[in-house]
């Protein structure tokens, strides 16, 4: 029987990407750089979305998406700040 792993998007954590990157041979400094860039771009993305959605766009659709972006960005920030990926 084939062993496949399926994750709900909400269950994927920063450490999964960190571990996968290491397994793929990506240097830790490069993974760290990518994580920092994602955090910066996520903040910019949230602001852009808020400023560019039509006033009549349904809040029950936009708000959960924006909240999830912010939640995942905060999780990534916490991971980055924890120093897990700052090994020189």
pLDDT tens digits, 54-80:
989 999 998 888 888 888 888 888 888
Q: Cα separations (Å) of 21 from 34, 60, 61, 82, 88?
A: 10, 35, 32, 18, 16
The Cα–Cα gap between 38 and 16 comes to 15
Q: Cα separations (Å) of 7 from 4, 64, 73, 75?
A: 10, 19, 18, 17
> How many CB atoms within 10 Å of residue 14?
20
Cβ pair 35, 15 in contact under 8 A? no
| pLDDT value for 76 | 87
Q: What is the DSSP letter of 9?
A: G
The Cα–Cα gap between 14 and 32 comes to 11
Domain ranges of the chain: 27-81
The pTM assigned to this predicted structure is 0.67
């Amino acid at each position: 029987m084939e062993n496949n792993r399926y994750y709900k998007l909400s269950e994927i954590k920063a450490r999964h990407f960190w571990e996968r990157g290491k397994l793929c041979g990506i240097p830790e400094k490069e993974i760290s750089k990518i994580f920092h860039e994602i955090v910066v771009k996520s903040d910019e993305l949230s602001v852009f979305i808020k400023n560019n959605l039509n006033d009549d766009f349904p809040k029950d659709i936009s708000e959960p998406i924006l909240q999830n972006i912010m939640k995942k960005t905060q999780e990534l920030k916490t991971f980055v700040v924890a120093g897990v990926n700052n090994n020189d």
